[in-house]
Amino acid sequence: MLVVLMFGLGCTGPCFASSKALTRLEAKVVAAMQEARMTVRPAPIEALRPTESAPLTARGNVADRYGVERVVALDYEPRRNLLWLTWFTRGVPGAWRVSKIPCSRQGERIECPDLASIIRRAAMPRQASEVDVVGALRAVEPRIDRCVAAVRRRPQVVRRSETVVLDLIIEPSGRWRVADIAPRPVAQSVLGRCLRAAMEGLDVGRFEGEPLSLRIPVYP
């Protein structure tokens, strides 16, 4: 069952909706998530709301930070009667998906007809095509640079100058595996061991489908 850490419903701008209406709407969201086989946990009281802390593209791996598969923040925009669900998923820096749901307000009730179907869609497992491989490589780049820098500090007689090629496998679990390092002597060297540790520390979160394979060059 998918575990979702939820930041409760916030109301943006001048809030024309009553607290009772907002409480009922939040309860409807939780019920829809439970129907979609999500286990909902409230975010810690002291946790910084991810939709307010920084630009969405610069918030790091929010779900990783809390040790869950998904994080969602709820925001109601009363002026336009829109419910926003900002989703964060394991292994993805920044927001993974933003759901904008049209609603209508009648007294103490806020109705969002598409709520259940949109939440069911967000509950579906990611496909291999949704894995952010480029983002993961950018995240690991500083560790690769440190591996290379350590080798460059060594005497020239023990260094190798040829390009190193890493053959990588991304398993459906989200974990990365180094299938091969070429040239062969580098695989057992200090550089090879450092690169292997850097790459195999990556986790892009679970997805459905076959393992992904890629090859990347490293220039010592």
* pLDDT tens profile 86-142: 999 887 778 888 999 999 988 888 999 999 999 998 888 788 888 888 888 988 999
Q: What's the pTM value of the predicted model, to 2 decimals? A: 0.70
Please state, in angstroms and rounded to a whole number, the distance separating the CA atoms of residues 150 and 60: 26
Residue 217 pLDDT level (bands cut at 50, 70, 90): very high
Confidence class for position 51, pLDDT limits 50, 70, 90? confident
SS3 (DSSP) at 66 = helix
Query: In the predicted model, what is the mean pLDDT of residues 205-217?
Result: 91
Q: Is the dihedral angle over the CA atoms 101, 67, 45, 50 positive or is it negative?
A: negative
